[in-house]
Amino acid sequence: MCACVVLVVGMVAAVNLAVPLLASDALRPSSSGLVWIVDTYVIVFACLVIPGGGAGDRFGRKGVLLGGLVLFAIGALLSAVAPNMAVLLAARALTGIGAAAVLPNTLAVLIHAVPAERRGPAIATWASMTGIGGVLGNVGGGVVLAAGSWRWLFAAAAPLALGLAAVVARCAPVSGRDDRRIDVAGTVLLVGASIALLLGIVQGPDTGWGSAVVIGGFVCAAVLFAAWVVVETLTAQPLLDPRLFRIPALRAACVGMTAIFFGMFALFYVNASFLQYAKGFGVLETGIGIIPLTVPIIVGGRDVGRVIGRIGVDATVALAFGFVGVGLLGLSWSGTSTPYIGYAAWLLVTGIGVTLALPTLSATISGSLPPAQAGVGAGLQATTREFGSALGVAVIGTVLTARFVAALPPDVRGTHAPHTVAGALAATPGHSTEIVAAFVTGADAGLRVIAAAVLVLGALATARAVARLRRPVR
């Protein structure tokens, strides 16, 4: 089950690593196109993961998990041979559907298969895999991408998925089913609202913030999210009952999980290009360069329970956000003149925060729902993670592009209007130093925006604890 988690989460990070190769490929994606290559997978993953958990609850977790792995393999193969952007984006969406069927059912299988006294450590280990998966995706992706083509990344993912399907078919236990209906209307509204929101964010630098596409995207997102809330409130068996968020602990944990992955995957998106363009790393060195982030997760993941026992859940979550926010701010100061060791130190700080957050927030979400809704609970965890990841990539991609273009030399910007580093370098190779400097300016600005957002969302997630501390003792 943990290997399945690493595969579907690691794919997000590995594709981020391939962004520079994709930018210079014959497909010639725009800056917004690069974001969509990453986010099409992530947003489909995020929006369908709760239906994926619900499908497992109803039709059998093992069968849905196997089907998801096969779909993931097919989507990866189609991505590897995609002749144009349209086929690539469609294949990425299919891969996301497969991932949405895989992730929630891995946790559901564990919850039903592991004895009650071992369930806590099992959930903590599973939760840590979501963080480790991102880092292993970078390292493994770096090894594969060293061959020189982004297509090899998808070609390598397909046999891994099929091999895991064979292991699951042999080893995973068959669990019970329930008659919970799949909420098609709620699923369609949630997918539509999420895509509309990302459309507004991602297309801003390309089409202008006042364009019909951007404004229409934001308006559609607001309308569709409102409709989703109404439909889910009136449905007997909703995809996700909005009234669940009346539970303070569940609401705070979901905000917290969204914020942590918002920051972590925004970092993954910009890290690959930063290390390759600003530090001169090769693609393999870039994949290895993210390893300091995972050291705390590997070394300290099992000790988080002791921290919670000493200072409590709320204080642990607050400490986690402090580390992540400060770490991202530190990374934003690590320009071309800072040695890699300084960059690695800030990755380590960020990793400590992620280590504290993942098992704590996962256990809180799981503990807020009854065992009968294990698949939906796992889906809720995955939705908050992947939705946060998609938003993080969209926001940092938008800020990065806007600041990069603004910082380019006037002759480069005015003549060629490039929106990617690869495009600018191809058009004006004699301005490479200025182009890289403009990219670093954009990357630093993006990381600062992300750090500020993480700290604000962290404050919202821990507001419940602050309010409780301010109440007078009776």
Cα–Cα dist 423/425, whole Å: 6
Is the separation of the CB atoms in 300 and 352 below 8 Å?
A: yes
> Is it the case that residue 66 has pLDDT exceeding 90?
yes
Domain borders along the chain are 2-182+239-470, 183-238
Distances (CA, A) of 268 to 135, 351, 438: 9, 12, 19
- Work out the number of other CB atoms within 10 angstroms of the CB of residue 28: 14
Is the separation of the CB atoms in 379 and 53 below 8 Å?
A: yes
CB neighbour list of residue 172: distance below 8 Å, 6 or more residues apart:
1, 62, 65, 109, 113
| CATH class name, domain 2-182+239-470 | mainly alpha
> Is it the case that residue 158 has pLDDT exceeding 50?
yes
Query: What pLDDT digit, counting tens, does each position of 410-449 carry?
Result: 877 766 556 777 777 777 777 888 888 998 999 999 999 9
The tokens describing 437, both together, are 């400097």
What share of the chain has pLDDT > 90, as a percent?
Answer: 27
Is the separation of the CB atoms in 462 and 314 below 8 Å?
A: yes
Q: What secondary structure does DSSP assign to 120-172, as a single string? A: HHHHHHHHHHHHHHHHHHHHHHHHHHTTS-THHHHHHHHHHHHHHHHHHHHHP
Mean pLDDT value across residues 46-72: 87
Give 121 or 177, the one with higher predicted confidence: 121
Cα–Cα dist 23/26, whole Å: 9
> Is it the case that residue 222 has pLDDT exceeding 90?
yes
Q: What secondary structure does DSSP assign to 381-413, as a single string? A: HHHHHHHHHHHHHHHHHHHHHHHHHHHS-HHHH
Query: What pLDDT digit, counting tens, does each position of 173-218 carry?
Result: 887 666 667 778 888 898 888 888 888 887 776 777 778 888 998 9
Residue 114's nearest CA partner among 54, 167, 177, 175 is: 175
What share of the chain has pLDDT > 70, as a percent?
Answer: 92
The owner of tokens 């690493």 is: 6
For residue 34, what pLDDT is reported?
86
The answer, as to whether pTM is greater than 0.85, is: no
Query: What pLDDT digit, counting tens, does each position of 392-408 carry?
Result: 888 898 888 888 888 88
For the chain, the average pLDDT equals 84
- Work out the number of other CB atoms within 10 angstroms of the CB of residue 207: 15
The tokens describing 59, both together, are 């039709």
Which of 44-53, 304-313, 368-377 comes out lowest in average pLDDT? Answer: 368-377
Cα–Cα dist 272/48, whole Å: 28
Name the percent of the chain in helix, strand, coil, to the closest 5. 85, 0, 15
Is the separation of the CB atoms in 232 and 240 below 8 Å?
A: yes
Q: Which amino acid is at 371?
A: P
